[in-house]
Amino acid sequence: MRKQTKQTLALTAISIVLISCSPQKQQNNSELNQTDKNTLRVDIGSEIPTFDPVLAEDGYTYRVINDMYAGLIDFDQSNRPIPGMAQSWEISKDGLTYTFHLRNNLKFSDGSPISANDFVFSWQRLVNPQTGSSYSFLLKDVNNAPDIIAGKKPSNTLGIFAPDSHTVVVKLSHPCNAFLSYLTLPNVFVVSQKVVSTYGESWTEPQNIVTSGAYILKEHVLNGYILVNKNHNYYAEKNVAIDNVKYFPFVDTNASLSNYKTGALDTTWQNVPIDQYKGLKATYPDQLHTFKWERIDYLNFNMNLPKYANNLKLREALTLAIDRDSLTNLVLGAGQTPLYSVVTPTIENGKYAEIKYPWSNISRDKQIAMAKELYQAAGYNSNNPLTVSIKYQTNDLTKKVMLAVMSMWQNVLGVKVTLVNEDLKVLNQDWKTANFDMAQGRWGADYNSITTYTPLFVCDNGNNRSHYCNNNYDTLINQAEATANPDQQMQLYKKALAIVMGDYPIIPLFQPTHQRLVNLRVHGYDINSNYLDNVQTKWFTLVN
């Protein structure tokens, strides 16, 4: 983590004002200087908490980390695994051994060679519990990984080996159909063993950092901007057309839009101001892109609290009381769809669309009647109303969603609601430590497999924000993951998800859409095919 001195905080405040308001920063494209012409200006929606790929766990960080690091497997704009630093690989007939062959002359940004041993080190570091990565589960299918993550075995027993400097061999405990997709995530990308070992936690400081991807960190002004320059030692450097990328953490979508309109930004983040969506769609028909997002937005119950953990009827009543049609059509109104499940109906091309609450298709009047009956049976009424506090990330869209939920609960059940907005970095810690009553939740799929959602409900998983635990669910998930037959595996996953649906540990709200403005000078961005919104600048060119 970067330390914040009083001087740094003062400069940060000045930077925020300048970036948001300064006419000098709000240039028209015709006024761009030569440096700006070779610089992509990207809104990433928030200050990122880390430059360490093993600790990345949100879309803001992924947008930057995907530019800075690379791995064995790369991905295209349709989110499909393609060769990366491994130019080829073989999979044994039993599906248990993957042999990756590295490209020749791979180098880190400082010119030092990248060897197979660096991959071994990077993966061992990911699963080491002392590292504290919530994405260690990506390697759970590798031999000994579960025991390492649980602290029962040392990280050097992980089933990854380097028989020579150009070969990486991975041994799995059971076949995994999604394993190559897991390897497209930046958490498993390669870092320099020498640099990490030399500098420890400060290895990601600009003066120390060494990267393996298309770009190298040049500057970081906390809450101001991140600047990266092209890495000339990157193995595919000749295919990287843009020299520099500047990332801005606009939490306020109105400030982001203002900068976009003046030409100071080339792309906005994942949403535009919802009250301006229709007008922007008419004004920028060729620049505003709206498409379905493989993600769920929801509320977490804190299942460590007895008032929720011991009261299923209350959890169901609160879930029923929310009018998702009004939320998506009237409050949001940008193509979002109501969500009545803990997974989307679109994952794996609709294989799990049948999983939804049995009351999802009944009339709204009947849903309200059921909610009131359950609320009373749970021990609450107008004389003894439930008191709820909801923590949520500071931004305009989420605030509107939370206000709508608060209004629905008050009107239908008489619940007393307090809303608490927090910076994402603070909210991340509160999720992890269960420091909340109820809290906003969101999860974007990392790959097109149901296994991108199932870890959210596994006991003690780092991304299980509700802190829910049902051993029967975990047993079925483990059985599914150890099953090679796809049909049998799917049935096991469905049985497991049915348990979660009946337990109501979260309240599904809606499946969102992307709404992103992209300047016409950005070419090569096939945005509408990228349903996961995993983005790499190296795909783009700038035409000025």
Residue 24 CB burial class (10 angstroms; 0-12, 13-18, ≥19): exposed
User: In the block, which residue shows the tokens 């060769």?
Assistant: 83
Domain boundary among 213, 245, 279: 213
Verify that 501 and 399 share a domain, yes or no.
yes
Mean pLDDT of 188-195: 97
In contact, 194 and 208? CB cutoff 8 Å: no
Whether residue 527 is contained in a domain is answered as no
Position 42 in a domain: no
SS3 per-residue string spanning 9-65: HHHHHHHHHHHHHCCCCCCCHHHCCHHHHCEEEEECCCCCCCCCHHHCCCHHHHHHH
CB 314 within 8 A of CB 380: yes
CATH code of 197's domain: 3.90.76.10
Instruction: State whether 323 and 448 are in the same domain.
Output: yes
In a domain, 155, yes or no: yes
Boundary-marking domain end, from 178, 213, 248: 213
Q: Count the Cβ atoms, other than its own, within 10 Å of residue 531.
A: 18
Q: pLDDT tens digit string along 240-272?
A: 999 999 999 999 999 999 999 999 999 999 889
Strand partners, 75: 81
pLDDT of residue 27: 39
The crossing angle, in degrees rounded to 10, of helices 312-320 and 364-377 is 150
Give the model confidence (pLDDT) of 90-138 as tens digits: 999 999 999 999 999 999 999 999 999 999 999 999 999 999 998 999 9
Same domain, 208 and 315: no
Cα–Cα dist 270/254, whole Å? 13
| Same-domain check for residues 187 and 318 | no
Please check whether residues 314 and 176 belong to one and the same domain. no
Provide the mean pLDDT of the chain: 91
Is residue 63, in this structure, part of any structural domain at all?
yes
Spatial distance between the Cα atoms of 282 and 298, rounded to a whole number of angstroms: 30
Whether 7 maps to a domain, the answer reads no
What is the total count of domains within the chain?
A: 2
Q: Quick one: 332 and 189 in the same domain?
A: no
Distance CA 414, CA 383 (A): 9
pLDDT interval class at 33 (50, 70, 90): low
Residue by residue, DSSP assigns 419-468 as EEEE-HHHHHHHHHHT--SEEEEEEE-SSSSGGGTGGGGSTT-TT-TT--
- Where a domain ends, among 194, 213, 232? 213
In a domain, residue 344? The reply is yes
Least confident range from 230-239, 449-458, 528-537: namely 528-537
- Helix orientation angle between 6-21 and 253-261, rounded to the nearest 10 degrees: 50
Which pLDDT score is estimated for 425? 83
Radius of gyration, CA atoms only, the chain: 24
- 322, 425: one domain: yes
pLDDT band at 35 (very low <50, low <70, confident <90, very high): low
- In this structure, what CATH number is given to the domain that contains residue 435? 3.10.105.10
Q: Are residues 342 and 487 in the same domain?
A: yes
Strand partners, 226: 220, 247
Beta strand residue intervals within 103-224, DSSP E: 160-164, 167-171, 215-221
Beta strands (DSSP E) in 103-192 are: 160-164, 167-171
Same domain, 205 and 89: yes
Residues 477 and 333 in one domain: yes
CA 66 to chain centre: 12
Q: 303 with 207, same domain? A: no
501 and 392 share one domain: yes
- Residue 138 belongs to some domain of the structure: yes
Strand-by-strand arrangement of the 97-102 sheet: 86-91, 97-102, 167-171, 160-164
Domain of residue 159, residue span: 54-213
* Predicted structure pTM score: 0.79
Question: With DSSP H G I counted as helix, E B as strand and the rest as coil, what are the percentages for the chain, rounded to 5?
Answer: 40, 20, 40
Could you tell me if residue 6 is inside a domain? no
41-57 CB burial, b ≥16 within 10 A, e <16: bbbbbbbbbbbbbbbbb
